[in-house]
Amino acid sequence: MPETPPDLERASAQEVIAYAVERFHPSLKTACSFQKEESVLAHMLSQIAPDATLFTIDTGVLFPETLTTWKRFEERFGLTIEVIDAASPQGAWTRERCCGQAKVDGLERALAGVDAWITGIRREQAPTRADARKLERDERRRLWKLNPLADWTEKQIWEYIYANDLPYNPLHDQGYESIGCAPCTLPGSGREGRWAGEEKTECGIHL
């Protein structure tokens, strides 16, 4: 990577992904939690780099709708989906006994040996994400992090999904704007449904 990375803030999402593929592939992975943003990213990746790798962190307490969406992703996009096991060895994760650290540990395993990763982060999702750039340094992991959809609005996400007839998690139609594990996710706008009633808004993966 050049000492002075390119400024991708004016680049389209497809251009950011194309840059990531050209510069880092195959030492590049894309985080996937089967939410609407990943519907968009998976579609773009399948067109730009059909041999790209998605990874998902399976806590063992995903919604049934998420598991169904997972299968539809495999059928539609044909991308490799690497599964990182973050299930609890001592009974299922609960709201009180959160899977947060297990997800962070799973992320470290997923990103071991790669140079960059792609996420579905958007600035309007939460104040904790408002400063996200399309290309930034993940100093904690000494990797490059690309957020191709950083400046996309909710409206743009849905317009793209409908225009391309993409599979998406049906929980979005039930008021879930952000979808995590079943024990700690409720319907809500933005990330309000995640750990509702608590100050917590991030599991630790993007902190």
Let me know if 98 is a catalytic residue.
no
**Nearest residue to 203 via CA among 127, 118, 114, 103:** 103
29 φ, ψ to 5°? -135, 155
**Nearest residue to 207 via CA among 146, 151, 129:** 129
- What is the crossing angle of helices 36-48 and 64-77, to 10°? 20
Residue 170: other Cβ atoms inside 10 A? 15
Residue 88 contacts residue 128 (beta carbons within 8 Å)? no
Q: Which amino acid is at 182?
A: A
* Catalytic residue chosen out of the listed positions 32, 99, 181, 203: 203
Residue 135 has which token pair?
């290309």
Beta strands in the chain (DSSP E): 28-31, 53-58, 80-85, 116-118, 135-138, 143-146
| Residue numbers annotated as active site | 203
